[in-house]
Amino acid sequence: MSKFFTSVHLKEDLCMGCINCIKRCPTQAIRVRNGKAVITKEFCIDCGECIRLCPHHAKEATYDSPEIMKRFEYTVALPAPSLYGQFNHLDDVNIVLTALKKMGFDDVYEVSGAAEIVSEMSRKYVAEHKEKWPIISTACPSVVRLIQVRFPNLIEHLLPICAPVDIAAATARKLAMEKTGLPAEKIGIIFISPCPAKVTAVKAPIGIQKSEIDAVLAMKEVYPILLPLMMQSIDDVEELSISGRIGIGWGSTGGEAGSLLSESYLAADGIENVIRVLEDLEDQKFDQLEFIELNACAGGCVGGVLTVENPYVAKVKLKRLRRYLPVACSHLESGDEENRIWTDEVKYEPVFKLGNDMKESITNMSRVEEFCEKFPRLDCGSCGAPTCKALAEDIVRGVAHEQDCIHILRDYIHKLSDELSKLDTKK
């Protein structure tokens, strides 16, 4: 697998080469070249913003088709808690879980169950690591990737506990092996994801060597399959749920932080807001916070770009669903903690840097400034870069030309035609 895997990609035939995505990409990862958008993989954090806003639907996420279930002898579905927020009038998650089995899965294991275990572990970790306050949640892979490439000073604040989905996957495989006697590779652990970032976290994990997840389905593709099956399930609902209020709360912003049972936390969502919080955090503008929950999507995972319901409506639905549940149903068993902690050190990857050493950087940065002086500072996007400055950086990186700026090109053409007409009059 290449070091820079991203799930978000372009459907070239649909791309019109407009500048909507280049302007709104939070990491300035997109350029328009030769009339088509191009995503620089190193810069992309898979937040899904471009999928959300492309008017031509030319951006999409890579994920697996439900067909993939056939590849395994035994399959376990891992539904993300945000899935429960997608349905109207749902009052029992067991209906969704039963429908998943009717869809063809041999078993289900709720990610929200594993989330309760992460909550328990986090409570302990936060209490024991005052020196690392505020501790930043690592459940949203898009945020973790962003910190890895752009906020090196915050890496040490990351919560080094595996994401609920990874813990769910490992536990589900273990249980399935015990139950069936099958070898690990014959069992398919299949996650139902709200977003492309979680797909990337499976293919190119951060903090762990390898993900236990075998395939990832998009929530929006599973949704229409489940709807009729849920109707059929109503009369013979199986008791499959292993999660309570805390676990299901993880589906929207504030759920994870709230589960720490402390007042001293901040929860922010929406990638632009997340960036603002990280900038301020880096400048030490707030202290006395114990925990920071950050979600790339507005509303939290219910706002994931592969969901179907309006995130705020989904949030209300989750709230209703949680109301009569016990606080938590899944608990940590001793001895389990060890393999739920990150094994790999997260290293800063300065993908945005302009030089290999200070000398080269100073030279390149002064060139950027010089180009910026020449450009009209309209940030018009016609060159295919989001801002004049971004074009200047591209030129210095050797991937664009000065005359990609239509204003420079126009001046050049004027000069040329002036010279030509002078030649003409001399004749």
Partner 1 sequence: MSDKIKVFYEVPADDFTRAGEASSNLKSMLKKMGMNPETVRKVAIAMYEGEINMVIHASGGTIDVTVSQEEIEMVLKDQGPGIADIEMAMRAGYSTAPDKVRSLGFGAGMGLPNMKKYSDELKIESQVGIGTTVTMKVKIQC
Helix (H, G, I), strand (E, B) or coil at 201: helix
Among residues 207, 270, 304, 386, the one that binds ligand SF4 under rule CB under 6 A: 304
Nearer to ligand SF4, 81 or 381 (CB): 81
Q: Which region among 13-21, 115-123, 147-155, 193-201 touches ligand SF4 (by CB under 6 A)?
A: 193-201
Q: How far apart are CA 102 and CA 378, in angstroms?
A: 56
Render 23-88 in DSSP notation, one character per residue: HH-TT--EEEETTEEEE-TTT-----HHHHH-TT--EEE--B-GGGGGGSSEEEEEE-GGGGGGST
142 touches, from ligand SF4, partner 1, none (C-beta below 5 to 8 Å by class): ligand SF4
Strands 107-108 and 74-79 come out as: parallel
296 binds ligand SF4 (CB under 6 A): yes
x/- mask, partner 1, residues 78-117, rule CB under 8 A, reads ----------------------------------------
For 285, the enclosing helix (H) or strand (E) is none
Token pair belonging to 295: 């979600």
Q: Which region among 109-117, 297-305, 319-327, 373-381 touches ligand SF4 (by CB under 6 A)?
A: 297-305
345 burial level (CB within 10 Å; 0-12, 13-18, 19+): exposed
Spell out the residues 6+ positions from residue 331 whose beta carbon is closer than 8 angstroms to its own. 116, 117, 120
Among residues 2, 88, 334, 356, the one that binds partner 1 under rule CB under 8 A: 356
Q: What are phi and psi of 146, to 5 degrees?
A: -60, -45
Q: Which region among 92-100, 178-186, 259-267, 280-288 touches partner 1 (by CB under 8 A)?
A: 280-288
Token pair belonging to 70: 């056939």
The CA–CA distances, whole Å, from 388 to 11, 141, 310, 378, 405 equal: 26, 30, 35, 7, 8
- Give the shortest CB-372-to-partner 1 separation in angstroms: 11
- Give the shortest CB-156-to-ligand SF4 separation in angstroms: 21
x/- mask, partner 1, residues 231-270, rule CB under 8 A, reads ----------------------------------------
198 binds ligand SF4 (CB under 6 A): yes
Half-sphere exposure of 170 (CA within 13 A, CB side): 16
358 binds partner 1 (CB under 8 A): yes
Other CB atoms within a 10 A radius of the CB of residue 324 amount to 9
Residues 381 to 400 in contact with partner 1, rule: CB under 8 A: 393
x/- mask, ligand SF4, residues 11-50, rule CB under 6 A, reads ------------------------------------x---
Q: In what order do the strands lie in the sheet with 215-218?
A: 107-108, 74-79, 187-193, 215-218
For 108, the enclosing helix (H) or strand (E) is strand 107-108
Residues 153 to 212 in contact with partner 1, rule: CB under 8 A: 153
284 binds partner 1 (CB under 8 A): yes
Closest CA to 264 of 157, 387, 133, 412: 133
The CA–CA distances, whole Å, from 282 to 119, 136, 151, 406 equal: 25, 12, 7, 37
Residues 285 to 314 in contact with partner 1, rule: CB under 8 A: 285
Among residues 9, 31, 150, 157, the one that binds partner 1 under rule CB under 8 A: 150
Among residues 179, 352, 414, 421, the one that binds partner 1 under rule CB under 8 A: 352
Nearer to ligand SF4, 246 or 301 (CB): 301
- Give the shortest CB-293-to-ligand SF4 separation in angstroms: 10
Residues that bind ligand SF4 (CB under 6 A): 47, 140, 142, 194-195, 197-198, 295-297, 300-301, 304
Residues that bind partner 1 (CB under 8 A): 150, 152-153, 279, 282-285, 348, 350, 352-359, 361-367, 369, 393
